[in-house]
Amino acid sequence: MLFRKKCKCVFFLSLLLILGSMAFFDVHAQETDPAEKTQIPFDLERFLFIVEEQDNPYLGLNIFRHTIEEIHKEWKELEAQQHHEVSQMIFVGDSRVVGMSMAGGYSYVGKESIGYDWFVSEGVYQMLDQMNAWPDADVILCFGINDVANIGSYISEYQYLVDAYPDTRFWFMSVNPVNDAMASSCGYFINSDMVISFNNVLQQSFPEQYLDVCSYLQENGYGTSDGVHYDVGTCLVIQEYTKYLINQKES
């Protein structure tokens, strides 16, 4: 018990040092490079709670891109501009959505190592159950990493859902980035070129409902141990940035 308390103290001291140093480098970066990155408000309190619950002092520390003051300021500014505030989201997809469920906070329909066939035979019915439970929720579809070649089938199914459920707000998330070298060494066949091709078609098919999370992660970084699946910190960033994009599109 004493060791556990000592570890937590060391973690939070380390976290304060990291935040302080990042604020320092952030100021100097702004002096030399005036501002081209898109930044998002971030639910810092929920992130710290999840990190503590996971009891892993190295979990997701790469995601801190703001000082605390900047985060809260941007969040308040965004809230003031919103017409529809996202309160509930249903994420539907593959193992990446399963990973997001570890972060918590929303509803999740997902299964590992699946794709289009699972979605139309099982996943869509689980999704409809969640839609019935949360009729005002935004539904975010996050497929493609396991079967990019099925892009045409996904487009057809997504269009059917949009037409069949006109009162539901459907959104289509980009397939998010992979680290080619790490993914290949772990036996995955997906690569960045495949991701780009899939996302281009998805965006062209649903320009108003496409959520480009991929570009944000490529620009700002992400944590992964195998090149494909993300750490909990990155999953939290994906969720917060998804909410941010939806609010922007609906404001």
- What sign has the CA pseudo-torsion 218, 222, 228, 230? negative
- The enclosing H or E element of 233 equals helix 232-250
Total-model pTM: 0.70
How many residues appear in the chain? Answer: 251
pLDDT of residue 46: 59
Note the pLDDT of residue 216.
97
Cα 136–Cα 139–Cα 219 angle in degrees, nearest 5: 130
Q: Tell me what pLDDT residue 62 has.
A: 38
Q: Check residue 27 and give its pLDDT.
A: 36
Please, which residues bridge with residue 173 across strands?
Answer: 211
**What is the β-pairing status of strands 89-93 and 107-110?**
parallel
Low-confidence ranges of the chain (pLDDT < 70): 1-86
Residue 163 tokens, joined: 């037409």
Q: Considering only CA atoms, which of 57, 90, 109 is closest in space to residue 233?
A: 57
Q: Please state, in angstroms and as integers, the Cα–Cα distance from residue 219 to each residue in 15, 127, 165, 208, 232, following that order.
A: 23, 31, 34, 22, 18
Kind of pairing between the strands at 138-142 and 89-93: parallel
